[in-house]
């Protein structure tokens, strides 16, 4: 009888152990990146431009929003933290939409049917859900996991980043976002 660790009787023990080790590694990696905290982006690089259509068929080009703060949220329908943060994003949108702040939720990899199922389970969302985010875009924006949100300043630079879900209508986050308006708000 083969008693090596990789033989059939022992394989069922290795898979959970490996998955557990992977979870611990991801947890430590996420903590090192401060998940759920809106942090400044080092060197504030220019945000990569994109043109995507929303679920209503309207076209959104990032550079068209120059002069405004733009919250760019990357999400997917299978992402539980993405689902968790959407209601707070809607509450934030209700406060921000008249203050030179744009919110674009960029879907990664889902078809329209998946997006419709996702939104049907949520309170109504009034901010644009844009479709067509792909691996190239995710790479250009430095997205390592979902949800990831980048706040672009009025000059078109990546100013703030948040990895993971957040309460977007919290006073702390709202203050950080609105502070980016600078002289544009005057």
- Among residues 117, 98, 146, 102, the alpha carbon closest in space to that of 55 is found at 117
Rounded CA gap, 145 and 142, in Å? Answer: 9
Per-residue pLDDT band for 182 (boundaries 50, 70, 90) equals confident
pLDDT on residue 3: 60
pTM over 0.75: yes
pLDDT on residue 154: 98
pLDDT tens for each residue of 105-136: 999 999 999 999 999 999 999 999 999 999 99
Count CB neighbours of 52 within 10 A.
20
């Amino acid at each position: 009888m083969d008693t090596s660790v990789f033989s059939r009787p022992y394989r069922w023990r290795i898979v959970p152990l490996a998955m557990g080790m992977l979870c611990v590694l991801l947890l430590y990696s996420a903590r090192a990146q401060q998940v759920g905290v809106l942090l400044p982006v080092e060197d504030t690089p220019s945000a990569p431009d994109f043109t995507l259509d929303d679920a209503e068929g309207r076209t959104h080009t990032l550079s068209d929003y120059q002069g405004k703060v733009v919250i760019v949220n990357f999400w997917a329908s299978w992402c539980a933290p993405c689902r968790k943060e959407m209601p707070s994003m809607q509450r934030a949108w209700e406060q921000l939409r008249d203050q030179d702040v744009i919110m674009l939720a960029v879907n990664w990899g889902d078809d329209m049917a998946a997006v419709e199922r996702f939104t049907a389970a949520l309170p109504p969302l009034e901010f644009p859900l844009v479709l067509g985010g792909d691996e190239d875009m995710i790479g250009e924006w430095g997205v390592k996991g979902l949800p990831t949100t980048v706040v672009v300043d009025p000059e078109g630079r990546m100013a703030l980043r948040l990895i993971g879900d957040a309460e977007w209508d919290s006073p702390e986050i709202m203050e950080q976002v609105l502070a980016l308006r600078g002289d544009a708000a005057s």
